[in-house]
Structure 1
Amino acid sequence: MDQDPSHRPDHSAFAPRPGETAHAAGRTLTSWRVAALPILDHILRRLRLQDVLRDHLPREDRRSRIATATGLLVLVKNLLVSRAPLYGVGEWAARHAPGLLGLTPEQLPALNDDRVGRCLDRLFDADIPSLTLAVVTHAVREFGVALDELHNDSTTITFHGDSEDADRERTLRGRLRLAVTWGHNKDHRPDLKPLLDILTVTCDGAVPVQFRVESGNATDDRSHQGTWELLCQLTGRRDFLDVADCKLATSENLAHLHHHGGRFVSVLPRTRGEDAAFRTMVRDGRTRWRHIHDKIDDEGNVRDRFSVHEPEMTSVEGYRLVWYHSVRKAELDVLSRHYRIERASGHLAELRQKLASPRTRYRERAKVAEAVEAILRDGGVEGWIEVAIEEQTRERYRQERRGRPGPGTRYVKREDTRFDLTYRIAHDRLAEEARCDGIFPLITNVVALSERELLLAYKQQPRIETRFAQLKTDFVVAPVYLKETSRIQALLCVYFLALLVESLLERELRRAMDGAGIESLPLYPEGRACRRPTARRVIELFEEVQRHELSAGNRRPVVFSTELTRLQRKVLRLLGMPKAYDT
């Protein structure tokens, strides 16, 4: 996400013309894109999003030609339909039917990048946690979303560019403006500064129900308690099942949830002593496994097999500790280990070349040892590759003084120390490590769930990764040309609302298919079957729908629209809006 807007074009100097117009023989044809906007309007009306925005936004400036709530809804629709740059939202809106965006043709010239920025400013000034809580609370009631199992995770939004004071938190207009600063970058870009985006989704349809943005140097393990308290406020209960990755599994976090009536499932971190002790048992052959579950794909093929260790164990805090073995994970562990060894070996070979160079900077053994240690540590191959540092001393003679050498020339002996490496793969260590392939531990305070039920609950966690993938691919969260961090925070709230709409649309369609006994829809290219249609597929299906107006002189214009296909009609019936495009 770029914070430097200096290179973007200036689109505020002209007003976009509504629709696309063609003239011929005294007649005028004006065309507007309709796309999936009627479908999105149906979801947005059920969400009452415009009403909630009006209730929570600061009082409107009377000089505003476009209300802030309307401008933010245009942004949400833009993200869902085609994701135009912020400075191009006005042009994008002009190509679509104004009424479907809540606008009049006279308002379109006012929808420029300055107006969009002011809408984001006013959203930042609002109480965003209360706003999103109100939206989600109504969505849960309206769409009947179950809140008995929630999944939490985080990702980073990466930035580059220059902005004054962006790396420091400060109070702006009574709200906390976060710091875009160095932290653990999950995009694997340690050279760039991130913000931390925390998201919680339901097991029922992976519907986003809570989001928070933290400064780039915030850590995941310190965010869970605050997130859990917000989820308790949303659900009105404390006994929902909280599923998260290993960042939840600190003694402090687990104790907080347990003592306040919470239920959790998480992965035990590799740094815990219980993990090391069990892996020693596995290497020694002192474990017993029982098959409990097969993962079957749509074609009936076994994709993975899971076993559980018997008997169960307990953590040092007294929680249930259940160890599982996955055949698929074992295969991935082998590939991962091979890749890490290959990569570390390549780095060691590069270091050898540097040591052999006549201008090498590695003149001390300690410096060479430090470089080797860094390669093994960063590559995660400590103990798998054995490295020996060889030291060689060479004698060199040079004249004591400058000039042409002669019979009386005196020479001075100097000793030059050089280093080399020899390394080998420790196959015995690898064989021991291979015995632990495919195993992973789940820690929980829930005693009523079986080992299989715990496993299936945790295996829903990748669904939140799907939502993060949508954020970064479907919505293309970066780059965005914004200089002020407060506007970025507000924009991430708009992304959350768009993600909520998309997930509800997807959930409604899939539930309708299940209710009608429909296994698939031909939404893939060439009419191939799609068993689990996404909202993105639905939006793309209606992408070419347009509305046309043909006028000639003083005659009454003739209005006609793109004729819908049988598949489009079927999708509309499943969504409960068969006449959405009839107006």
Structure 2
Amino acid sequence: MAVTRQSVEQFDLDLSELHNDSTTVRFYGDYEEFEEPVQRRGKQTAAMRQGHSKDHRPDLKQLLYILTVSEDGGVPVYFTTDDGDKHDDQTHIPTWDLLKELTGRTDFLYIADCKLASSENLAHLHRQKGRFITILPKNRSEPRKMRQLLTDDPDCVSWKTLYEIRDEDGNLEHRFRTPREEEMTKDGYRLIWIHSLVKETTDEASRMKAIGKTTSELSRFRARLRSPRTLMRQRHRVQEEVEAILAKRPVGSFLSVEVIQEEEVTLKQATPGRRSKKTQYTKETKLRFDLSWKIDADALEVAKRSDGIFPLITNDSKLSAEDVLRAYKRQPIIEKRFSQLKTDSCVAPVYLKEVSRIESLLCVYFLALVIQTLIEREIRRAMDSSGIESVPLYPEGRACRRPTTRRLIDALSSLSHHRLQTDDGDTLSLYTQPTSLQSQLIKLMGLRPSSYGRKKN
């Protein structure tokens, strides 16, 4: 918190809008002694446990890494670690309380994903006069009612356009709409329904992709059933396998699958020996199964009626629907920080045994992320104030509108300064002269190119 306060003061950070999310940091090893919290230097450590892995590695133990960033440049302002199996909905109240202490205010806008939308979390923020924006989970009653309403009568809702995005030729790329009449949740918060043109397309594409994957699995299973050496001879086993395939994806209402039972009759010698005209045969009957399925086109058309919608809730009565939407759409800035943590910084694997040391190392990663983000913020602000639209930081000298710290480090990596001591005691300095691009970047960062090369008289 002291580091954050200094960053806020020195770089004049705006903390009126804060975004929160969490990720997991996985660890290879047993770590059996740290599956429960332990006391280290008067503090309780987090427990390293298996849980819902956001890295898709549920077989590994992990810690929860909770991060809050400012809207102003996406600068990290607070982080903490928690138990590896901790649910995200249990982290928001202590996080918000610490942010209140950090900012010295309660009216900052707190934005998070659907795990914030529990009655307990929202009531705590509302009682403390905090402001929030989040999205309602699909399992809440309000989204179910809206989807059913649109399914039954898609023309019953009157929509108004919030804003559109067009390309250079004026072609429509994106459009956001909201109902003309705003609703309230059962808890008394504003419920703002948003219809996204791009989401409508992606929802349909995701549905068809899921159907395609399911039918592919059914085809492979059908080939197993038709194999001469198949072991699937019991109807209940076939039915269980079909149900397991359908349960992987929510496509059961669009696919009707029929298990077809057939009888396979073979003749077998009643007695051993060489066959002759007098050989007696017995009839042996085995069950064989086949599959057939059909896609319900009518059900697909009905499902398309509710594509592209999502529900945002807030307790701020002064923000317009467009303001709420634009604020929530800034939430992905925190995903960029998680990406930098796991790619540029390579937070995993961690070669430490003691969990308190691991938590300390994660703090070092947080400080590195703060520095990295502040560098990005400062150079982008300098470009805006200087009227520079882009700099050639991409390969082949392609234009880069939003420089990252990683790109800056790569561009400046060839600069070097060597100081040699001769046998006579003289000092010889060897410099790498900055290129025009490097000089431009150094100036944008508020430094002098002469500091990186031979000083001119």
The two structures have a TM-score, normalised by structure 1, of 0.71
Which sections of structure 1, spanning at least 5 residues, go unmatched? 1-132
Q: Which residue of 2 aligns with 1:449?
A: 319
- More displaced stretch, 556-565 vs 159-168: 159-168
CA deviation after TM superposition for structure 1 residue 574, in Å: 2.5
> Which of 175, 179, 182 lines up with 2:47 in the alignment?
179
Q: What residue identity is the alignment partner of 1:455?
A: L
> Which of 332, 342, 346 lines up with 2:212 in the alignment?
342
1:536 aligns with 2:393: no
> Which of 183, 202, 206 lines up with 1:332 in the alignment?
202
- More displaced stretch, 255-264 vs 562-571: 562-571
CA 1:208 to 1:345, structure 2 compared with 1: closer, same or farther past 3 Å?
A: same
Q: What residue identity is the alignment partner of 2:452?
A: Y
Q: How do residues 360-379 of structure 1 correspond to structure 2 at under 5 angstroms? A: 360=230, 362-379=232-249
Partners in 2 of 1:302 and 1:580 — Cα distance? Answer: 49
| Contact persistence 2:432–2:452 (CA under 8 A) | no
Q: What residue identity is the alignment partner of 2:8?
A: V
Q: How do residues 124-143 of structure 1 correspond to structure 2 at under 5 angstroms? A: 133-143=1-11
Partners in 2 of 1:497 and 1:163 — Cα distance? Answer: 26
CA deviation after TM superposition for structure 1 residue 141, in Å: 1.5
Q: Which residue of 2 aligns with 1:581?
A: 452
> Which of 261, 273, 276 lines up with 2:144 in the alignment?
276
CA 1:222 to 1:505, structure 2 compared with 1: closer, same or farther past 3 Å?
A: same
Q: What residue identity is the alignment partner of 1:376?
A: L
SS at match of 2:384: helix
CA deviation after TM superposition for structure 1 residue 536, in Å: 1.6
Q: Which residue of 1 aligns with 2:349?
A: 479
| Contact persistence 1:268–1:442 (CA under 8 A) | yes
CA deviation after TM superposition for structure 1 residue 454, in Å: 0.5
> Which of 542, 549, 565 lines up with 2:435 in the alignment?
565
Q: How do residues 356-505 of structure 1 correspond to structure 2 at under 5 angstroms? A: 356-357=226-227, 360=230, 362-394=232-264, 416-505=286-375
SS at match of 1:554: coil
Partners in 1 of 2:309 and 2:165 — Cα distance? Answer: 16
| Contact persistence 2:415–2:452 (CA under 8 A) | no
Q: What residue identity is the alignment partner of 2:318?
A: A
Q: Which residue of 2 aligns with 1:321?
A: 191
> Which of 20, 37, 47 lines up with 1:152 in the alignment?
20
CA deviation after TM superposition for structure 1 residue 167, in Å: 4.1
CA deviation after TM superposition for structure 1 residue 326, in Å: 1.3
Partners in 2 of 1:490 and 1:297 — Cα distance? Answer: 47
Partners in 2 of 1:194 and 1:356 — Cα distance? Answer: 44
Question: Per residue, is there more strand in 1 or in 2?
Answer: 2
Q: Which residue of 2 aligns with 1:508?
A: 378
CA 1:483 to 1:417, structure 2 compared with 1: closer, same or farther past 3 Å?
A: farther
CA deviation after TM superposition for structure 1 residue 181, in Å: 2.8
CA 1:298 to 1:545, structure 2 compared with 1: closer, same or farther past 3 Å?
A: farther
List per-residue Cα deviations over 1:262-286 (Å, max 9, x = no partner): 2111111111111111112222222
Q: What residue identity is the alignment partner of 2:395?
A: P
Q: What residue identity is the alignment partner of 2:299?
A: R
Q: What residue identity is the alignment partner of 2:434?
A: L
CA deviation after TM superposition for structure 1 residue 414, in Å: 6.0
Q: Which residue of 2 aligns with 1:212?
A: 80
> Which of 541, 554, 570 lines up with 2:424 in the alignment?
554
Q: Which residue of 2 aligns with 1:304?
A: 174
Q: Which residue of 1 aligns with 2:132?
A: 264
CA 1:299 to 1:499, structure 2 compared with 1: closer, same or farther past 3 Å?
A: farther
Partners in 2 of 1:430 and 1:555 — Cα distance? Answer: 84
CA 1:398 to 1:544, structure 2 compared with 1: closer, same or farther past 3 Å?
A: same
Q: Which residue of 2 aligns with 1:244?
A: 112
CA 1:428 to 1:300, structure 2 compared with 1: closer, same or farther past 3 Å?
A: closer
| Contact persistence 2:133–2:324 (CA under 8 A) | yes
CA 1:412 to 1:483, structure 2 compared with 1: closer, same or farther past 3 Å?
A: farther
- More displaced stretch, 376-385 vs 467-476: 376-385
Partners in 2 of 1:400 and 1:181 — Cα distance? Answer: 62
CA deviation after TM superposition for structure 1 residue 357, in Å: 4.1
List per-residue Cα deviations over 1:411-464 (Å, max 9, x = no partner): 877653333221121211111111222211111111110011001000101111
Q: What residue identity is the alignment partner of 2:335?
A: E
| Contact persistence 1:158–1:193 (CA under 8 A) | yes
The two structures have a TM-score, normalised by structure 2, of 0.90
Partners in 1 of 2:316 and 2:115 — Cα distance? Answer: 18
SS at match of 1:379: coil
RMSD: 2.7
Which sections of structure 2, spanning at least 5 residues, go unmatched? none
| Contact persistence 1:572–1:580 (CA under 8 A) | no
Bigger relative contact order, structure 1 or 2 (CA pairs below 8 A, ≥6 apart): 1
SS at match of 2:260: strand
> Which of 390, 396, 408 lines up with 1:526 in the alignment?
396
CA deviation after TM superposition for structure 1 residue 240, in Å: 1.0
CA 1:281 to 1:580, structure 2 compared with 1: closer, same or farther past 3 Å?
A: farther
| Contact persistence 1:323–1:439 (CA under 8 A) | yes
SS at match of 1:185: coil
Q: Which residue of 1 aligns with 2:62?
A: 194
SS at match of 1:196: strand
